[in-house]
Structure 1
Amino acid sequence: MKVNKSFSLFLLLGLTACYTQREEPLQPLDDVMMQAFYWDVPVDDQAKDGTWWDHLSSLAPELRTAGVSSLWTPIPAKGNWGIYDSGYGIYDHYDLGNYEQKGTIETRYGSRAELEQMIATMHKAGINVYSDVVLNHLYGGDENFEANPVVTAYVKAGRGEPYPESDIQWKNDTAYTRTHLFFPKHTGDGEPNYEWHYQHFHPSSASDSLTDFTDDVLRPCTKFFGNDLDTYNEEVQQRLCDWGKWLKGKIGFDGFRLDFVRGLQPEFVSRWVKSLPLQDGHQPFIVGEYWAEDGRYIKEWVDSVAQGGADVHAFDFPLKFTLTEMCNKSGDEFDMSRLAHAGMIRGFGLPVDNVVTFVDNHDTGKEHDKWIVKDYAMAYAYILTHEGTPCVFYPHFYAVTQHDVDNPSLEVTAPTDLQLDLRHLIDIRRQYLGGTLAVLTESDKHLYVARRQGNGVKDGAIIVLNNHDTDTLSITLNVNPDGFTDWSGQTLVNLLNPKETITVGNDGQATLSAPNRGYSIWTIQ
C-alpha cells in the first residue's frame, strides 16, 4: 500500500531547516574509509603464519575501484599472546612480525615485510593507510614479573582504586607485577633498545593512584587494560612519540587511529600528534576512539586536543547507537525525527571536519548486544550521504560472519547483496555530493529527509529514509532550504530507480517517496 503524507513544510511543520554551514569551495568527495579488519581475522596459528597483510594487498585494486580512499588497519606490533593476539595486547612496539618472541616471529596479520608490501600496494592503488595504535598500555606475561615496591606499598595502604589481584604475584610480602618488558635486540633503522619497568606504569610512585572506570569521562590513570602507561612521565611520552614518528616516517603509514583515548590526557595526545612527520605538508590524519554515549565528552576531548595545537577526528558513537536502533527496531518503536539531531554534528555541535561516522566496528562486532542485525543499508545510506568521513566495516562489505566473543554460538552476517548497495552509495557520494547538508523534516515519525549540497560539478541530492515496516511513504515539502540552489521547476530523478521522476513546483514544493525499510536519493535529471 502506498500512503501519501502531503503537507506544506513551513505551514504545517513550522520548521526551519537544521544544518551546518562551511564556507568552503564545493568539490567532489573522495573520503570513504574502510575498517579493513575485525576481531578474529583468520590466522594459521599452527604454522604461526599470519596472512592478513597479504590478503589486503590482493584487494587493493578492487577497493579503489569501489571508491575506498583509505584503510584503517590493525595494530601492527607484536602482542603478548603472539600469533593469537589481535594487537590490543601490545607488547613490543618495534616488533612488526620480524623478531622471534612470544612464541612466534609473525604477528596475527603477517610479517613486517608483508606489512610494508601491503602499504606500498595500497599507495600504488591510491589508497591511504591509517594504522591503529595503542598508547594507553602494554601487556606482559609470566616471564615479565618483577618486584614492584610501589604496588606493594599501594596495596598495603589500600590507596585509591584497587590494583587487580590477578595481576600480582606475592613473594615474601612483596608484590611482583608483569611490568618488566624486555625484547630481542632490535637491529633495524631507528629501532631503539630499552626495557620497561614498573615506574613506567600507574601507579608509578607513592603519590600516584589508580582511578575507577565507571562513566564517560577521561580516565588517564585507570588500569582497564594490561599495564597502564604513565603518560605523565616524560620518558614514557618521548618513547611513544618516537614510536609514532618511526611508524610514520620509516614504515610509511599515512595516519593513525588512536585506541582508547579516554585513557590519555589530551595534552599528551596533542604532543604525540604534533611530533609526527607531516603528510604532504600537513598534519597526518588522526581519529580517536572516545567511546561514550554522551557526545559532550567526545566534543570536549576534541576541543582539548585542539587547544594543544593538534587537529583530530573522533568516531561518532552517539550516531552509531542511534542508527543501530533505527535498523533493529520496528517502525513503531523508532521515531525517525530523532535523526534530525542525531550524532556529533547535529546533536553536539562537533565540526563536520572532526567527525568519522560508522555503522559497526571490531569492538561492536564482537558484542552481540551492539550489532546491527537487519536493514544495514539504511544506516549506510545515512552515513554515505551525510557529512563527516564515513567508515565502512569490512565484514559488512564482504558478508563475513561475526561471532560474539563470549558466546561464539551467537553470530550475525550481513547480506551478500549489501556490497552492491554500498558500491552504489559510495559512487553517488563521489559523483553528486559535497558541501553542507540541510535537514528538511524534524517531526515525521517514519520519514527523514535531508538535502546535501553538490560538488561543483553536480548540484547535490535529497536523501529520503523510510522506516515504515510495510508501506512506501511519500511526503510533500519545500526542497529549497536557505543557502542552496533553487530547484523550483526542475525534474528530479531517483538515482536508485531512474524510471522514477518528479517535478518540483514553482513554489519549491515536491512530493518525495521512499520504499518501506529503505531509501531513495533524488537529484536533478
Structure 2
Amino acid sequence: MKKQNFKAYLISALLVGLYSCNSNDDLVTDSAAAASQFKVINVTHHDGQPFSTGKSTNSTTGRYVANPGGGVMMQAFYWDVPAGGTWWNTVNTKITAWSNAGIGSIWLPPVSKAQNGPFSMGYDPTDYFDFGNYNQNGTIETRFGSRTELESLITKVHAENMQVYADMVLNHNSGGQLENNPFTGTQTYTNFTAVASGKFPRTSADFYKNAYGNNDEGAFGGFPDLAHVVPNVQDWLWKRADGVGKYYKNTMKFDGWRFDYVKGFAPWVVNDWNANVGGFSVGELWDSNVNILNDWANNANSSVFDFACYYKMNDAFDGNNLNILNDDMMWKRNPYKAVTFVSNHDTDEIWKKELAYAYILTHEGYPTIFYRDYEEWLNKTKMDNLIWIHNNKGTGTTSILYTDTDEYIARRNGYNGNPGLVVYINNSSTWQERWIQTNWANAQIKDFTGNSTWIPTTQGDKWVKIQCPPNGYSIWSINM
C-alpha cells in the first residue's frame, strides 16, 4: 500500500540507568510473602511448538540456521529509498551481516516495473514480468535496479540459508493505455496488451466495472481495479505454469509473498494463490480488530500482519499504560498466522521502539524488523541481542504474570527441552523489582540482555525476585 502515515524522525536513545546490587541477600525470602504481590493476569493456551516458516537447515558454516525460537523477518526497504537503481545492490551488501545476526528472511518491495518508472516504489504495477530488463515507462531499470542485480540479491539470500519474500500488488494496475470501455461508456486506462514482456495481456474486461459486476471489496487510489473472478486474471496471476506466481517462485526463486492491500479483494484470492503457487504468505489487512484479522487469515489460509498488536503496543508504551497488553491480539488468537511488527514503510507511530521490539521478539508470532530501525535509528547491538534471545530462548506458550501501568512481566514456557524465558518491561523512570514464579526449580538464572547484573537462584517452588531498569527491559532464563 502507498505511504499513509509515515513520520520521518530520529529515535532518541533511551537512557538506561546504571545500577548495581551489592548483595543478593534480599533475593531469598519466604515465597508465601512473595505470592501476595504476584498475580497471573492471563495465560494463552496454544500448541507449545515454536513458530516456524517451515524452513530448516543443518548448515554449520555460520550462516543462518533454523533455531528453537523460529524466524525473524527483515523488511528490507522503507518508503522513498534512494532512486537511481542502487537499492538491490545496497541490500545485497547487508545480507551476510543480517544472516550472522539471526535474520531468517527478507521482504522486498514490489520488484516489477510500475507506472512511475524509475521513481516508483512499485505499488502502481504495469508489467509484472519486467524486473528492470525492458525499456518501458521511461526506464529500463526499476527504481531499485536491474533484473540482473535482483537475481544476484536473491542468490545471495539463498546462499546465506535465508528466504526472500516478494511484495505482491494484486488489487490494482496502473500505466495502461486508453481504450474505449464498453462497460463504462468512456475511455479508460485499462489496455495492457502492449506491455513489453508480452505477458498477462489485459483489457477493460479484466477490470471492474465489467461483465462480472461493478466492483469487489475495494478500489485503491483511482487505479484500474483487477477483477479476480475473470478467468484470464486467475490464469495469469496464479494458475498458469508461466503466470506471475509460478514464474516468481520457480524462475525468480522467491520463497513467499507479502500481499498488499488485501482489503481490496476477497480472501479466496490469496487462498487460491497459495494452493496453486505455494510458499509463505502474509497479508496486509490494515485493521485493529482481531476477529477481522483472524477470519481473514483462516479464510485466506495465510498469515496476517498483527495490526491489533501494533496499535495495542502504541497505546501501552506511548500511552503509559502497560495493562493494555492484556488485550486480545492476533498473536494470542492464532500465533502461527500472526506477523508482528513495530513499524513499516506505511506507518511509524510508536516512539518507545526499544520496548516494543523487546515485546515482539520475546512473544509468539513471526516478528518483523524495519530496515531503518535496525540500520539507522536504534542501537544495533541491542537489536542483535534481542534477535539472539528470540532465536535461542523464545519458545513455548505465553503466560502473562504481572501488569500495571508501568510494568509488564510475561513467561515463555519453553518447548522440547528449551527452557523459555521471562521478559520484564519497565516503562517507569526508576528501577523496579518483582517476585515472579518461573518454570525452573533451584536453577540459577540471569538477564540475557546484560541490563541487570543479578544472577539469582530460583527457590524450590520456582519463585525468584528479578529486576528491570528504568525505561527498559530485562530477559531472564537459565544461566547456561
Give the shorter-chain TM-score range: 0.7 to 0.9
Among all aligned residue pairs of Structure 1 and Structure 2, give the percentage whose two residues are the same amino acid. 32
Give 2:204's match in structure 1, choosing from 198, 213, 224.
198
Q: Which runs of 5+ in 1 are unaligned?
A: 45-49, 153-174, 187-191, 211-218, 277-282, 306-310, 366-370, 400-413, 480-485
1:30, CA displacement in angstroms? 4.3
For 1:444-463, what aligned pairs fall within 5 Å after superposition?
444-454=404-414, 456=416, 458-463=418-423
Q: 1:201–1:8: structure 2 CA closer, same or farther, 3 Å change rule? A: farther
Q: Is the CA contact 2:322–2:405 (under 8 Å) kept in the aligned structure 1?
A: yes
Following the alignment from structure 1 to structure 2, what is the Cα–Cα distance between the partners of residues 15 and 194? 56
The corresponding residue for 2:467 is 513
RMSD value over aligned CA atoms? Answer: 2.4
1:300 aligns with 2:295: yes
1:490 aligns with 2:443: yes
Between the two proteins, the alignment pairs up a number of residues equal to 432
Following the alignment from structure 1 to structure 2, what is the Cα–Cα distance between the partners of residues 425 and 25? 16
1:472 aligns with 2:478: no
1:147 aligns with 2:180: yes
Following the alignment from structure 1 to structure 2, what is the Cα–Cα distance between the partners of residues 8 and 34? 44
Q: Is the CA contact 1:133–1:259 (under 8 Å) kept in the aligned structure 2?
A: yes
1:322, CA displacement in angstroms? 1.6
Amino acid paired to 1:18:
V
Q: 1:111–1:372: structure 2 CA closer, same or farther, 3 Å change rule? A: same
**TM-score normalized by structure 2?**
0.84
Amino acid paired to 2:350:
I
Following the alignment from structure 1 to structure 2, what is the Cα–Cα distance between the partners of residues 508 and 466? 22
Q: 1:264–1:25: structure 2 CA closer, same or farther, 3 Å change rule? A: closer
The corresponding residue for 1:29 is 69
Q: 1:259–1:74: structure 2 CA closer, same or farther, 3 Å change rule? A: same
The corresponding residue for 1:323 is 313
3-state SS in 1 of match to 2:339: strand
1:294, CA displacement in angstroms? 1.1
Following the alignment from structure 1 to structure 2, what is the Cα–Cα distance between the partners of residues 394 and 511? 36
Following the alignment from structure 1 to structure 2, what is the Cα–Cα distance between the partners of residues 466 and 512? 12
Give 2:192's match in structure 1, choosing from 152, 156, 181.
181
1:11, CA displacement in angstroms? 4.9
Following the alignment from structure 1 to structure 2, what is the Cα–Cα distance between the partners of residues 136 and 99? 23
Q: 1:184–1:91: structure 2 CA closer, same or farther, 3 Å change rule? A: closer
3-state SS in 2 of match to 1:178: strand
3-state SS in 2 of match to 1:471: coil
3-state SS in 1 of match to 2:152: helix
The corresponding residue for 2:322 is 336
1:396 aligns with 2:342: no
Q: Is the CA contact 1:76–1:96 (under 8 Å) kept in the aligned structure 2?
A: yes
Q: Deviations over 1:186-218 (max 9, x none)?
A: 3xxxxx53532111111113x6224xxxxxxxx
Following the alignment from structure 2 to structure 1, what is the Cα–Cα distance between the partners of residues 33 and 272? 52
Q: 1:433–1:243: structure 2 CA closer, same or farther, 3 Å change rule? A: same
Give 2:135's match in structure 1, choosing from 82, 86, 100.
100
Amino acid paired to 1:122:
V
Amino acid paired to 1:149:
P
Q: Is the CA contact 1:432–1:460 (under 8 Å) kept in the aligned structure 2?
A: yes
1:254, CA displacement in angstroms? 0.8
1:21, CA displacement in angstroms? 2.5
For 1:215-254, what aligned pairs fall within 5 Å after superposition?
220-224=217-221, 226-241=223-238, 242-254=243-255
Amino acid paired to 1:344:
M
Give 2:170's match in structure 1, choosing from 127, 135, 148.
135
Following the alignment from structure 2 to structure 1, what is the Cα–Cα distance between the partners of residues 91 and 324? 37
3-state SS in 2 of match to 1:88: coil
Following the alignment from structure 1 to structure 2, what is the Cα–Cα distance between the partners of residues 30 and 265? 29
Following the alignment from structure 2 to structure 1, what is the Cα–Cα distance between the partners of residues 41 and 138? 62
Following the alignment from structure 2 to structure 1, what is the Cα–Cα distance between the partners of residues 346 and 202? 28
1:42, CA displacement in angstroms? 0.4
1:291 aligns with 2:281: no
3-state SS in 2 of match to 1:516: coil
Q: Which runs of 5+ in 2 are unaligned?
A: 1-16, 20-25, 52-66
The corresponding residue for 1:260 is 261
Following the alignment from structure 1 to structure 2, what is the Cα–Cα distance between the partners of residues 509 and 267? 49
1:66, CA displacement in angstroms? 1.1
1:17, CA displacement in angstroms? 4.4
1:421 aligns with 2:421: no
Following the alignment from structure 1 to structure 2, what is the Cα–Cα distance between the partners of residues 149 and 432? 60
1:463, CA displacement in angstroms? 0.3
1:454, CA displacement in angstroms? 3.4
1:360 aligns with 2:316: no
For 1:118-129, what aligned pairs fall within 5 Å after superposition?
118-129=153-164
Q: 1:507–1:225: structure 2 CA closer, same or farther, 3 Å change rule? A: farther
Q: Is the CA contact 2:407–2:425 (under 8 Å) kept in the aligned structure 1?
A: yes
